[in-house]
Amino acid sequence: MWTKTLKIEGMTCPSCAAGIEKALNRMKGVQIKVSYADAMGELKVRGKTSLTSLIDAIEGKGYQVSTVDDQEPVATSPTGKEEGGDQLHVAIIGSGSAAFACGLKAIEAGARVTLIERQPIIGGTCVNVGCVPSKIMIRAAHIAHLQQSHPFTGIRKQSPVIDRAKLAAQQQARVDELRSAKYEDILKTQPGMTLVHGDARFKDPHTLIVDQEHGEYTEIHADRFLIATGSSPAMPPIPGLAGTPYWTSAEALASTTLPDHLVVIGSAIVALELAQAFLRLGSKVTLLARHTLMYSEAPAIGTEMQKVLEAEGMRILTHTQVEAVRYQKGFFSTGRFIVDAKQGEIKGDHLLVATGRLPNTESLALDKAGVEIDRTGAIEVDDHMRSSVSHIYAAGDCTSQPQFVYVAAAAGTRAAINMTGGDAALDLSAMPAVMFTDPQVATVGLSEAEAETQNIKTETRTLTLDNVPRALANFETHGFVTLVAEADTGQLLGVQIVAPEGGEMIQTAVLALRSRMTVDELAGQLFPYLTMVEGIKLCAQTFTKDVKQLSCCAG
């Protein structure tokens, strides 16, 4: 155990002292007694917590701290390195998956970490307003859909009774639970990680100014920085839109009522996932796409998804440019949106705008640090997550990397390794992507068109799901598997899947791609019979065989 007397300046009332005690005494092995009258703190520490990290925790609340004597206790980090004045300090802007992945890995390497978060709650987009609540809502909508639209003739179909308020409450409870378990509780058990609330901006390449309440601010100096500020919904410049109570994905997910008629502007992942969920929960849905559905993917994907969604009752207007949006307030009910397009007026009681996301970098004063961004505001990073300034790293949706939470977490981990002396690159050549509609869309690697732009000669095969035994057994044969291979060698280059369990199938394709397998090698692997993933094997077999002429589970 070691002890230290601290001089704490800046306290304005006894509650300040109580707040410092509450923050530090919850840390394992740490005990502090603070006197407001004397502006002093008596600190006792058992274990490996460093003095520097505790001082940072107090200063993070806006106080100034100094030691009464010059004797510095020597503690050891988990790696056995001495901690003290030369301990690496990592400042992380953000508190989502990239931020926490980086922070935890940096602590493993002996660094101390300061997290800066401007929102009242931590955890970032995925757990709070993105992946987690959307998948809960999508699953609930799937159950409702099966009640009235399942394919089995011996089970009576019935219209589901939907209580959206109860569904939303259950959804939020699970979000709160996961945020607590995966972020808040972890923060409490990491004495080397300090959280500071406020808006961060760079003063210079080694200093952040964190603006806080009541005009107060804190300056944070660090050796390394990670920018992990995520992204926000992009708003298209549609005349009249800004003055209306439109929804982004966050408001749509939090809604406790169901629209009678939801108009959706957008045609990619978020737009299609939420449009189908609301449709299945009972709303009428009209979707407006500027091009075709899933325009950036292989054309067959958008064609198949439009066929499926229209069969479920969704109205889809492709090649539709929205010209203006108006909103009429209602006296005794919700108002009405009027969307003007070349096809005429589209009227609905709610409007969801899901046209992509933009990086949260505008308020960071990146020019003061010399950090370069692209035309969208995304921070340009190399495969080691370094920005244009060698000691400043970035990860997640605020960068030019793909906007997936697992990419953000992997990037955060690798950034920590690199900023603490290691060497770790992020290889995205076999990155899976999944859209959680029904059927799901899952891809990895190159499409046929992308391979052609790289002057790679390809051979491509597509297997419709009516050739997959499990799909036949499920009476769910909408969808396909496409394999793209190099023509000369047969090496697998990419896979596109549209299938009810496409997200569960795609990792097999990822591993095959990572292993540089040929389609012949893939066709020769053992796949369990009556699984959807067997569709990948069957598609590989079509390069040399007619699978319609094979018996069940033919090897």
What one-character DSSP code corresponds to residue 398? T
- Tokens representing 372 are 């370069």
- Selected catalytic residue, list 102, 126, 314, 505: 126
- Selected catalytic residue, list 11, 314, 385, 435: 11
- Selected catalytic residue, list 36, 40, 102, 131: 131
Under 8 Å between Cβ of 82 and 216? no
Under 8 Å between Cβ of 507 and 443? no
Phi/psi of residue 275, nearest 5 degrees: -60, -45
- Cα dihedral sign, 100-101-107-111: negative
Residue 484: strand pairing partners: 460, 494
Residue 463: strand pairing partners: 481
Which one, of 99, 106, 85, 268, lies nearest residue 196 by Cα?
A: 99
Which one, of 121, 92, 25, 39, lies nearest residue 396 by Cα?
A: 92
553 labelled catalytic: yes
63 labelled catalytic: yes
Under 8 Å between Cβ of 284 and 314? no
What SS3 state is found at 137? helix
Under 8 Å between Cβ of 147 and 161? no
Distance of CA 229 to the CA centre of its chain: 11
Q: How far are the Cα atoms of 216, 242, 300 from residue 90, in angstroms, in the given order?
A: 23, 39, 46
552 labelled catalytic: yes
- Selected catalytic residue, list 16, 27, 419, 435: 16
- Selected catalytic residue, list 40, 295, 327, 553: 553
- Selected catalytic residue, list 27, 63, 385, 435: 63
Distance (Å, rounded) from C-alpha 504 to C-alpha 191? 37
Distance (Å, rounded) from C-alpha 89 to C-alpha 115? 11
131 labelled catalytic: yes
Q: How far are the Cα atoms of 228, 247, 366 from residue 378, in angstroms, in the given order?
A: 11, 24, 11
| HEC profile of 301-346 | HHHHHHHHHHHHCCEEECCCCEEEEEEECCCCCCCEEEEEECCEEE
Q: How big is the CA angle at 305 (ends 500 and 436), to the nearest 5 degrees?
A: 45
Residue burial 89-99, b: 16+ Cβ < 10 Å; e: rest: bbbbbbbbbbb
- Tokens representing 247 are 């929804």
What one-character DSSP code corresponds to residue 71? P
Active site residues: 11, 13, 16, 63, 126, 131, 552-553
